[in-house]
Amino acid sequence: MKLQRKNRLRATALGALAVSGALVLTACGSDNNSGGDTGGNGGQTKAASNVKCDGAKGQLRASGSSAQKNAMDLWVKDYMAACSGVEINYNSSSSGEGIVAFNQGTVGFAGSDSALKPEEIADSKKICKTGQGINLPMVGGPIAVGFHLDGVDSLTLDAPTLAKIFDTKIKKWNDQAIAKLNPGAKLPDKAIQPFHRSEDSGTTQNLGKYLAATAPSDWKYEAEKKWPAPGGQAASGSSGVASQVKAVDGSIGYFELSFAASQKITTVDINTGGAAPVKASSENASKAIAAAKIKGTGKDLALDLDYTTKAEGAYPLVLVTYEVVCDTGNKADTLGTVKSFLTYTASDEGQQLLTEAGYAPIPEAINAKVRETVASLS
């Protein structure tokens, strides 16, 4: 008995040691979104010359979409380098959390992958007092479809084929439909393993919108944040899907382009029906976003993307993420910083920075309206 008690004491001590060690380690891993170096962007950290810090002061908290995290990291770093004494903290949780935080009045602005829903706008009127929440398109980006198939270096697919693959209607890589789009490619007789997001995600919703618009007879699901189709496998987050695609031969999945770049995953070229298949790139995504129309009313600049565009070199599978602010009735102590910061992010310089992180700049015609709106915020 005595021996036993001593053992237990010792085990507890060891356990405590392990736990505290783990705590110390995890403490170092907490997210560091105000300025940490994001992979592959080194060297581009010079202080922005045209940042206007007028009226900016103190601390600004923001929260929302993780899709624009890498862009925010770059912007915040440059902005804080130019405007000393101003601190911006963007918590890249998720669009839903961002909007909830915005409507509770705890953040100066929110990032969101999809425009505010009517009931969310209704909620926002409580916080904005004299106005309401509006969407400002700030970051565009291609959603890359990455694949891993040993022996195949490039792959062209069109929307109906993509829809059937993600709906597990096409099960083998050497299926007729794929072979027809890729003459000359040596497609193996291997099962296709499609991966999707396990949690709700704006990226999933945008893929759904694209497939529903371009392949309505093959994709009959509603475009929602949750993955609608029954088959396939799921992984958590864009990074989770990307690492599964990286690891599993015969897999295919979707994620923001930057994940394809950082994990060195080959992406699918999309046959839009135009002259040639289109590669997923920042430039090509911008061309597709240029075909978008503004559907928001008043100062709201929510976009209606044209997924069926066949324009030369326009990559149609795109995502636009918004910054959500009040048109009028922003909180006095953050208004100056919000205006100053968003003026910078919408500037040519700010938008130019996007291409370096695998995003796409908002086309000039739309961006001009964004700047106008930012200047009029009150």
Residue ranges of the binding site: 65-67, 95, 113, 201-203
> Hey, how many other C-beta atoms are within 10 angstroms of the C-beta on 368?
12
Q: Alpha helices, DSSP H only, in 138-277?
A: 159-166, 176-181, 202-214, 237-247, 257-263
Instruction: Name all contacts of 182-189 with Cβ < 8 Å and 24+ positions apart.
Output: 182/155, 182/156, 185/152, 185/154, 185/155, 186/151, 186/152, 187/149, 187/152, 188/149, 188/150, 188/151, 188/152
Take residue 58 and report the two structure tokens written for it.
Answer: 């103190």
Q: Which of 40, 151, 222, 301 binds another protein (CB under 8 A)?
A: 222
Positions 248 through 267 that interact with another protein (CB under 8 A): 248, 250
Beta strands in 164-247 (DSSP E): 193-197, 233-235
- Nearer Cβ to another protein (55/231): 231
Backbone angles phi, psi at 6, to 5 degrees: -60, -45
Q: What is the spatial distance between Cα 70 and Cα 36, in angstroms, rounded to a whole number?
A: 10
| Residue (93 or 340) nearer to another protein, CB | 93
Applying CB under 8 A, the span of 49-57, 232-240, 268-276, 310-318 interacting with another protein comes to: 232-240
Number of residues that bind another protein (CB under 8 A): 40
Residues within window 144-203 making contact with another protein, judged by CB under 8 A: 191, 193, 198-201
Question: DSSP letter at 360?
Answer: B
* 230 binding another protein? (CB under 8 A): yes
Site for another protein in 19-38 (CB under 8 A): 19, 22, 26
96 sits near another protein (criterion: CB under 8 A): yes
| DSSP-derived secondary structure for 278-312 | B---HHHHHHHHTT-EE---TT---EE--TT---T
- What residues form the annotated binding site for phosphate? 65-67, 95, 113, 201-203
Residue 100 binding another protein, by CB under 8 A: yes
- Residue from 47, 122, 179, 247 touching another protein (CB under 8 A): that is 247
Range in contact with another protein (rule: CB under 8 A) among 224-232, 274-282, 302-310, 357-365: 224-232
CA distance 294 to 292: 7
Q: Which is nearer to another protein, 25 or 332 (CB)?
A: 25
- R_g over Cα of the chain: 23
95 binds another protein (CB under 8 A): yes
Q: By CB under 8 A, is residue 244 in contact with another protein?
A: yes
Of residues 78, 97, 300, 323, which one binds another protein by CB under 8 A? Answer: 97
Which residues are near another protein by CB under 8 A?
Answer: 1, 3-4, 7, 10-11, 14-15, 18-19, 22, 26, 93-97, 99-100, 191, 193, 198-201, 222, 224-226, 230-236, 244, 247-248, 250
